[in-house]
Structure 1
Amino acid sequence: MESVTLMKCACQTCLCVVSTQDAVQKDNKYYCSPACAEGHKTMKGCANSGCGC
């Protein structure tokens, strides 16, 4: 059985695909950045060019 190594960032508006090994984990979800993981409460965007979150 293969394990998932890439998945879409758990932030709904984010377009990024993140490695489960390198992701920021919060509440058993995987995020591409601390900004996405905190729900963009104090940080805007995710610093990846072309992403509109």
Structure 2
Amino acid sequence: MISVAVEQAKCACPDRVGIVDISRGIRQVGRICCDDACAGHHEDGAGCHHAGCTCHG
């Protein structure tokens, strides 16, 4: 049996194409997000504040 350690995942925001370190991500039920804005479904309309990213959920 082979064991694989997953350390990164795509941010759960549908607009965001970036990845996040699982140990640093913001965890929600079944989701890992890169930023508070993504984790909050962009309720205030703000993006994730990562350079070059235009996500707004």
Q: TM-score with structure 1 length normalisation?
A: 0.90
Give the fraction of aligned pairs with identical amino acids, expressed as a percent: 30
2:37 aligned counterpart, secondary structure: helix
How many aligned positions are there? Answer: 53
2:55 corresponds to 1:48: no
C-alpha distance in structure 2 between counterparts of 1:29 and 1:39, whole Å: 11
Match of 1:38 in 2: 40
Match of 2:24 in 1: 22
C-alpha distance in structure 1 between counterparts of 2:4 and 2:52, whole Å: 30
C-alpha distance in structure 2 between counterparts of 1:47 and 1:23, whole Å: 14
In our comparison, the structure showing a higher alpha carbon Rg is 2
1:35 aligned counterpart, secondary structure: helix
Q: TM-score with structure 2 length normalisation?
A: 0.85
Which consecutive aligned stretches of 4+ in structure 1 deviate over 6 angstroms post-superposition? none
Q: Gapped runs of 5+ residues in structure 2?
A: none
Superposition deviation, residue 26 in structure 1: 0.7
Indicate the RMSD between aligned Cα atoms, in angstroms.
1.0
